[in-house]
Structure 1
Amino acid sequence: MGRLLVSGAAAVLGLTMLTGAPTATARAVPLDGTFPSRIALPNGFQPEGIAIGPGPTAWFGSRADGDIYEVSLRTGRGRVISEGPGTPSVGLKSDRQGRLYVAGGASGTARVVDTDTGELLADLTLTTGTSFVNDVVLTRDAAWFTDSSQPQLYRLARTSRGPAASATTVPLTGDWVQGAGFGANGISTTPTGRHLLVVNSTSGLLYRVDPTTGAATEVDLGGASLTMGDGMLRQGRTLYVVRNRSNQVAVLRLSRDGLSGRLVRTITAADLDEDTSFDVPTTVARFGADLYLPNARFTTPPTPTTEYWVTKVRARAGS
């Protein structure tokens, strides 16, 4: 039957998640068959990361306790599939084998969760020093994690059978300037797939990183700034960079080698449907022609009743 988000009874009655916690209140699916433009997450959830697919299924991590919440993009209904360890779940990425790679924030860890069963497949300590393991991208043979507190990345080898038992630390060198505040945040790959792209949230600079050496080269953006740059998503030569507290998504057209790019569009609240909004979106994933962004609401004090939601917007790349 594939991946079922709720049992038949829960789908009809809107009762409880399998873990016993209540589901978020979902808006009705429009009669024209389109997916909802706003998806409610559980009150108090404190989302940060998102991963989508394969298929119209998304996963979100909680900064509050590390829970993983699974949602149907078609209906907006969801459930907790994996209870967290009490430490944050931040950046997320899913692979085609049904594994979810989770950045652990200030815990200095990474986890791997089975999205079908919720089973914890791996719980890895990436560093014991001061850290904020923030985001993750999957390449053909590795999961790469950023650390916003230290000028370094973590490489976790992966195969079709699963992740390695430990990760390798790769220092960032070359043009990289750590500076004060959050450093490396969002991470992606170049259009060729041979290098990594990493944004520095505080300086607003984008770097191309050689994965074999850690040598970073500043990407020429023609003067465009990516301050408050958070999660990133590359589709072909289009790079989406979420600028969290600016409530914007910068849309860049990259050169094939990833050494230059130009700002072609900025997605703002004006691009959203009238029934949704941005409130400090942190990262982005895509399904079909649409982008999905969880709103972390960093400027709103979190309480058990604070509302959180996911915003959908059309993924027009610009000219």
Structure 2
Amino acid sequence: MTRIHPSRRSLLTGATLAAVAATTGTARAGSGDGDSAPWPTEFPLPDGFLPEGITIGSRPYAYLGSRANGAVLRTDLRTGRGEILHPGAPGTVSIGLKLDTDGLLYIAGGGGGTATIIDTRTGGQRTTHTLTTAAPAFINDVILTGDRAWFTDSRNPVLYGVPRARGAKDIRELPLTGDWVQLPDVNNANGVVATPDGTDLIVVKSTPGELYRVSLRTGTARRFTLTGADSVAAGDGLVRIGHTLYVVQNRLNQVTVWDLDLTRTHATLRRTITDPRFDIPTTAARHGNRLYLVNARFTSPQLPGTTFNAVSVPI
């Protein structure tokens, strides 16, 4: 593993990770889990990392994926220091990520149409599944529920169910039907979470900005009625805590917080989170009483020397 040391910066170019560095953010906050030691509320990522996804398990470590070469960075939330856990490979990307309780990390492979599983204990790759050979395709995000990891495809109206450890053996394709209308040449299905009982999924459609409840049994999608705002335009990553849904709206530099009524497929806007440190945040993950987001900086040059960071806000 390549460690990010406090006194050095990092550069990610293709598949090569040069000497890397990090300094913890100056703004600090409590951990939210009873630990009195302050934790950083922002931390730098390697230069040129091109971050997109983030996931956090029960332990205070964030896993972040790279669009530059599919690398995965592991950062200690207590210090803001990180290390390259998985080096990736040329021509690959790591978009959405989810960490399982067994230490396996499921990664959406973007335009490659793949789902990759790595072992966070070793950084080694377990397997890569080819979900689709359709062109265009963009495997964007993933959620774990039941015996499968479910992946969205932003360019095709279908979800893919990949077996989890000791689970089902086949990859299931679930076409989206019902209220779902696939739009051409734009990103459709993006972020995804499970409903509280795990029987259905909630999917955000980035364009024009809609929320759907999708049956895992039939693929039938029912569009949410929104109150308090007309849409969730530029909706990207989703986080659900109970019946509260957090929607990251990347190019709007905000997170909207919604109260869900799943019996009527209805969502009511409770509040909107903004922060001057937001710079096109794409996805979010929760730890303790904070939400951690990565700044993808899509409106900035996406170059080997471009700087990136992650920030946290109170839930």
Give a deviation string over 1:58-109, Cα, whole Å, max 9, x none: 1110011100111001111111111113211100000111110000000000
The AA in structure 2 aligned to 1:140 is: G
Structure 1 residue aligned with 2:163: 157
Asked if 1 retains the 8 angstrom alpha-carbon contact of 2:25 and 2:42, the reply is no
Residue type of the alignment partner of 1:248: Q
Answer yes or no: is 1:252 the counterpart of 2:252.
Answer: no
| Contact 1:134-1:146 at 8 Å conserved across structures | yes
Q: How far apart, CA to CA, are the structure 2 residues paired with 1:248 and 1:299?
A: 15
Q: Which residue of 2 aligns with 1:70?
A: 74
Q: Is 2:198 aligned against 1:193?
A: yes
* Structure 2 CA distance for aligned equivalents of residues 299 and 14 of structure 1: 26
Change (3 A) 1:81 1:184: same
Is the 8 Å Cα contact of residues 224 and 263 (structure 1) preserved in structure 2?
no
Instruction: Tell whether the 8 Å contact from 2:6 to 2:21 is kept in structure 1 after alignment.
Output: no
2:85 matches 1:85? no
- Structure 1, residues 25-83: CA drift from partner, whole Å, max 9, x if none? 22267597221111100000000000112210011100111001110011111111111
Task: Give the match for residue 243 of structure 2.
Answer: 237
User: Following the alignment from structure 2 to structure 1, what is the Cα–Cα distance between the partners of residues 83 and 254?
Assistant: 28
How many residues were matched structurally? 300
Q: Could you say which residue in structure 2 is the equivalent of 1:209? A: 214
What is the match of residue 297 of structure 2?
297
- Alpha carbons of 1:249 and 1:293: their partners in 2 closer, same or farther (altered >3 Å)? same
- Give the structure 2 partner of residue 22 of structure 1: 19
Choose from 59, 70, 90 the match for 1:55: 59
Report Cα offsets for 1:160-187 as digits up to 9, x if no partner: x4x7665221110000011131100010
CA RMSD of aligned residues (A): 2.3
Q: Secondary structure at the match of 2:225?
A: coil
**Distance in structure 2 (CA, Å) of the matches to 1:301 and 1:28:** 23
- Alignment partners' CA distance in 1, 2:49 and 2:121: 21
The runs of 5 or more residues in structure 2 that have no matched partner are 30-35
SS in 2 for 1:233: strand
Aligned 8 A contact 1:5 1:71 in 2: no
Counterpart of 2:33 in structure 1 is: none
Q: What is the TM-score with the length of structure 2 in the denominator?
A: 0.89
Task: Report the AA paired with residue 173 of structure 1.
Answer: T
Cα gap change, 1:46/1:260 in structure 2, threshold over 3 Å: closer, same or farther? same
Sequence identity, in percent? 47
CA-CA distance at 1:122 after TM superposition: 1.1
Distance 1:42 1:143, change over 3 A: same
SS in 2 for 1:312: strand
Which consecutive residues of structure 1, in runs of 5 or more, have no partner in the other structure? 271-276
Which residue of the partner structure matches residue 143 of structure 1?
149
User: In 2, are the aligned partners of 1:199 and 1:230 still within 8 Å (CA)?
Assistant: yes
| Structure 1 residue 148, shift from structure 2 partner | 0.3
How far the C-alpha of 1:23 sits from its partner, in A, is 3.0
- 1:272-283 → structure 2 map (5 Å cutoff): 277-283=277-283
> Kindly tell me: are residues 55 and 44 of structure 1, through their superposed partners in 2, closer, same or farther at Cα, counting changes over 3 Å?
same
Task: Give the TM-score normalised by structure 1.
Answer: 0.88
Which residue of structure 2 aligns with residue 99 of structure 1? 104
| Aligned-pair CA distance for 1:5 | 9.1
Instruction: Say if 1:24 and 1:43, in contact at 8 Å, map to a contact too.
Output: no
Contact 2:5 2:22 in 1 (8 A): no
